């Protein structure tokens, strides 16, 4: 079942005669639990035509580099094979996605697209909607509760957002059946890029190769599901007590896969509920309430990637303390290389640059210290966002933008006033030492750097 709230027509044109229904895959890079794909299949069967899935490879996506592209291509190879098993052809081309869609629209009855929330994703969909002759239907598949259903405006905090999610979630937290189309499109000669040679693609589309692909995270739905199964077996029951301990391996590590839509949050939630246990509610709080709060933020706040997105109280208090003496001020290159006086911060930075992911609790400490060690809060915001987006596989998405903004007061409340931070929440190394073995975390990162397990 695909709820009507997930579906929106972007251009209100009549269905035309054509050779296929085109699914423009962009945000939801998967075959299972993909509402947009299932909608495209259902409409194609109604119109008695096959389905084609299109994906455009471009180096123009903001701040993307080889680390992100390699992970994405690993996932797309799985998508291509899984679609073939269902009789659906996939067209991957080396071109701007909206321009590729417009070209393929000439023979399409209807175009279906999944939903993205970032500025560039919304601009791509608007661009296509104004330049094609057939309908463009958007189907929301990467959140559990559709964004406008959850709230018609930006919300202040999780406390105000949580009741809205809880009221609506019963209608959307239901399985999505997979179907194969009545007509195969495998015989259509569409011309598609061979994505097996990632290095050749990087050179061809001039991907930024200054950040190496991660050896610790491999893209694709298969790897995502293996991580999910391992978490449900070994980590879920410990999640409530140990999720803030980076030594405990009590988190799912699924955020890179959620970033690229290689696994659905709906599938994860249903599997967790089926597994059960005392920590399920705490896990779903992060997976649904906190994650979709981040989507609410980037969808309704046009300044989501700038200092201006912070709440008024946070901007005022940080401005009032702009002139405070900083204990240390580090230039970007020292931060990027993890060369500060703080071994705990350095370990967090190196974990991120090496693996492509930083433990969530350490990321909060990491962002707070950037604020403390920068000449001003706006410079600190830019630095944190740059480093997060450059090295994190799960950067450059709603969770990444909201996570950085949280370090500066977003979705939080005023705390006791102190130098540099004003009323923004403060974190220090004493807090790390109280919560877990921070020295053990440093040793863990050192082992990763030396190639030890």
* Domain CATH for 370: 1.10.579.10
Cα distance between residue 237 and residue 190, in whole Å? 48
Cα distance between residue 413 and residue 226, in whole Å? 38
DSSP letters spanning 388-448? HHHH-TT-SSHHHHHHHHHTTTTT------BTTTBTS----HHHHHHHS-HHHHHHHHHHH
Which has the closest alpha carbon to 353: 384, 387, 320, 382? 387
The predicted pLDDT at position 1 comes to 82
**Is there a domain that residue 183 lies in?**
no
Q: Are 268 and 408 in the same domain?
A: no
**Is there a domain that residue 212 lies in?**
no
Q: Are 257 and 149 in the same domain?
A: yes
Q: Are 129 and 227 in the same domain?
A: no
Q: Domain range spanning residue 58?
A: 1-141
Q: Are 404 and 436 in the same domain?
A: yes
Q: Specify the 3-state DSSP secondary structure of 363.
A: helix
Which has the closest alpha carbon to 191: 66, 103, 73? 103
CATH number, domain at 52?
3.40.50.620
**Is there a domain that residue 4 lies in?**
yes
Q: Are 327 and 354 in the same domain?
A: yes
Q: Are 230 and 95 in the same domain?
A: no
**Is there a domain that residue 207 lies in?**
no
**Is there a domain that residue 197 lies in?**
no
What is the block-wise mean pLDDT of the chain (453 residues), using blocks of 10 residues?
A: 96 94 98 98 98 94 96 98 97 96 97 98 97 97 98 97 97 97 94 90 92 97 98 97 97 98 98 97 98 98 97 98 97 98 98 98 98 98 98 97 98 98 98 97 96 77
Cα distance between residue 40 and residue 28, in whole Å? 13
Q: Are 280 and 325 in the same domain?
A: no
**Is there a domain that residue 281 lies in?**
yes
Q: Are 171 and 277 in the same domain?
A: yes
Q: Are 293 and 147 in the same domain?
A: yes
**Is there a domain that residue 113 lies in?**
yes
CATH number, domain at 163?
1.25.40.80
Cα distance between residue 328 and residue 325, in whole Å? 9
DSSP letters spanning 46-66? HHT--EEEEEEE-TTSTT--H
27-31-36 Cα angle (round to 5): 55
Structure tokens at 27: 């945000």
Q: Are 232 and 137 in the same domain?
A: no
Which has the closest alpha carbon to 348: 274, 262, 446? 446
Q: Are 348 and 442 in the same domain?
A: yes
Q: Considering 300, 322, 345, which residue would you say is the last residue of a domain?
A: 300
Cα distance between residue 313 and residue 311, in whole Å? 6
357-208-376 Cα angle (round to 5): 60
Laid out side by side, the sheet with 89-94 consists of 7-9, 136-139, 108-114, 20-24, 51-57, 89-94
Q: Considering 242, 267, 300, which residue would you say is the last residue of a domain?
A: 300
Structural domains in the chain (count): 3
**Residue 48 — φ and ψ, nearest 5°?**
60, 45
Q: Considering 266, 300, 334, which residue would you say is the last residue of a domain?
A: 300
**Is there a domain that residue 210 lies in?**
no
Which has the closest alpha carbon to 346: 360, 374, 365, 325? 365
The predicted pLDDT at position 453 comes to 67
**Contact in structure between 363 and 355 (CB atoms under 8 Å):** no
The predicted pLDDT at position 412 comes to 98
Q: Are 388 and 340 in the same domain?
A: yes
**Residue 87 — φ and ψ, nearest 5°?**
75, 25
Report field, pTM of the whole predicted structure over 0.95: yes
């Amino acid at each position: 079942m695909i709820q009507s709230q997930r579906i929106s027509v972007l251009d209100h044109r009549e269905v035309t005669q054509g050779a296929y229904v085109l699914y423009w895959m962009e945000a939801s890079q998967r075959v299972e639990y993909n509402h947009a794909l299932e909608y495209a299949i259902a409409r194609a069967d109604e119109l008695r035509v096959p389905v084609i899935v299109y994906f455009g490879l471009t180096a123009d996506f903001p701040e993307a580099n080889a680390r992100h592209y390699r992970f994405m291509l690993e996932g797309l190879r799985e998508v291509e094979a899984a679609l073939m098993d269902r009789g659906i052809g996939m067209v991957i081309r080396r071109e701007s996605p909206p321009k590729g869609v417009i070209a393929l629209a000439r023979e399409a009855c209807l175009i279906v697209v999944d939903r993205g929330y970032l500025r560039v994703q919304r601009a791509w969909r608007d661009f296509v909607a104004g330049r094609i002759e057939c309908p463009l239907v958007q189907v929301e598949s990467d959140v559990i509760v559709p964004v406008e259903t959850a709230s018609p405006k930006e919300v202040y905090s999780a406390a105000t957002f949580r009741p809205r999610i809880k009221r609506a979630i019963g209608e959307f937290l239901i399985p999505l059946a997979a179907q194969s189309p009545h007509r195969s499109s495998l015989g259509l000669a569409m011309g598609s890029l061979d994505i097996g040679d990632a290095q050749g693609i990087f050179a061809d589309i001039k991907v930024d190769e200054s950040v190496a692909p991660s050896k610790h995270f491999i893209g694709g739905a298969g790897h995502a599901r293996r991580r999910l199964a391992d978490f449900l077996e070994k980590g879920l029951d410990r999640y409530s007590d140990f999720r803030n301990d980076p030594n405990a391996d009590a988190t799912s590590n699924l955020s890179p896969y959620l970033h690229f839509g290689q696994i659905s949050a709906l599938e994860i939630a249903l599997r967790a509920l089926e597994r059960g246990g005392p920590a399920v509610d705490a896990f779903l709080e992060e997976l649904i309430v906190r994650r979709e709060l981040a989507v609410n933020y980037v969808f309704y706040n046009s300044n989501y990637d700038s200092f201006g997105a912070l709440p008024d109280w946070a901007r005022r208090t940080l401005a009032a303390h702009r002139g405070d003496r900083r204990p240390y001020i580090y230039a970007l290159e020292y931060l990027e290389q993890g060369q500060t006086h703080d071994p705990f911060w350095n370990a967090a930075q190196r974990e991120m640059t090496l693996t492509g992911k930083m433990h969530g609790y350490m990321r909060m400490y990491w962002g707070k210290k950037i604020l403390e060690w920068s000449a001003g809060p706006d410079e600190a915001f830019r630095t944190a966002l740059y480093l997060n987006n450059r090295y994190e596989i799960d950067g450059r998405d709603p969770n990444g933008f909201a996570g950085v903004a949280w370090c500066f007061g977003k979705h939080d409340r005023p705390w006791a006033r102190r130098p540099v931070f004003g009323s923004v929440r403060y974190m220090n190394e004493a807090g790390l030492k109280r919560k877990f073995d921070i020295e053990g975390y440093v040793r863990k990162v050192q082992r990763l750097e030396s190639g030890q397990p």
